[in-house]
Amino acid sequence: MKKLSCLLLVLVMMMGAMALAEDDATVAAQLLEDVKGTYEALFPVITDPAWDQIWLDHCAAVVGDEMAPEVAQALKDACNGTIYGQEAIDAYGDGSNGAQFDCLFINGVDQITFDGATISGTLAGETVFSHEYAFVSPLSLGGMMNGYLYETADADAGEFKYFFMMPDTPASTYHLEFRYGSDVDALTEYATGPYAYWLAAGFPVDADQAMTENVIGLFCDENLAEMAGEQPAA
């Protein structure tokens, strides 16, 4: 009976693992459906001076009017870096003394389109890459952010061989966060390797004013949440 019980336990564990894998695949497939559209880099859009008052309003709600300009600028600067990989490592080290994240699109693209299993990128309207991708497995970025890894079978994909997608969608967080490259292990590293200090942030090219204001508000509110207790009394 003990052998039978152990066998049943193993079967249950195997079935559970299979169900988990099926769930991951289902969620990963749905994610590609939910992000359909064309995206440009987020931060050059939302740090345009035209949106300054939105930044100030959200920051003032947490830190007060006096500190709002300084805090808003610090938030903008944090994700407006233009270097990554070894250049960023040389500049920031392990990041303990501060760092800027590069959230632009790299490898010569200025727009990326998600169309189901097909992901493509263009520069000034000219196609740079276009491949079909299949879900591989869940993946974690430095143990801090969890997402889904997709791979293309195309031999000429180069630095677009893998896409590492976080679970953000326009409907949930008004933007996307993702990485792409040719080295899976390197894509999981936060402050080391060829993708150090880089995480692409995409924004729908057809976003309206409400979505722009919403994504600024979300970015401010999430990053300033721990400061809420320091807000000056009204």
pLDDT of residue 225: 82
Q: What is the pLDDT along the chain (234 residues), one digit of tens a residue?
A: 444 444 444 443 334 434 445 599 999 999 999 999 999 999 999 999 999 999 999 999 999 999 999 999 999 999 999 999 999 999 999 999 999 999 999 999 999 999 999 999 999 999 999 999 999 999 999 888 999 999 999 999 999 999 999 999 999 999 999 999 999 999 999 999 999 999 999 999 999 999 999 999 999 999 998 666 544 433
pLDDT of residue 231: 47
Q: How many helices (H) and strands (E) does the chain have?
A: 8, 9
- 29, 114 contact by CB (below 8 A): no
Closest CA to 91 of 81, 79, 103: 81
CA distance 169 to 184: 22
Domains, the chain, in order of start with CATH, read: 32-229 (2.40.128.20)
State both tokens at 118.
């097909």
- 147, 134 contact by CB (below 8 A): no
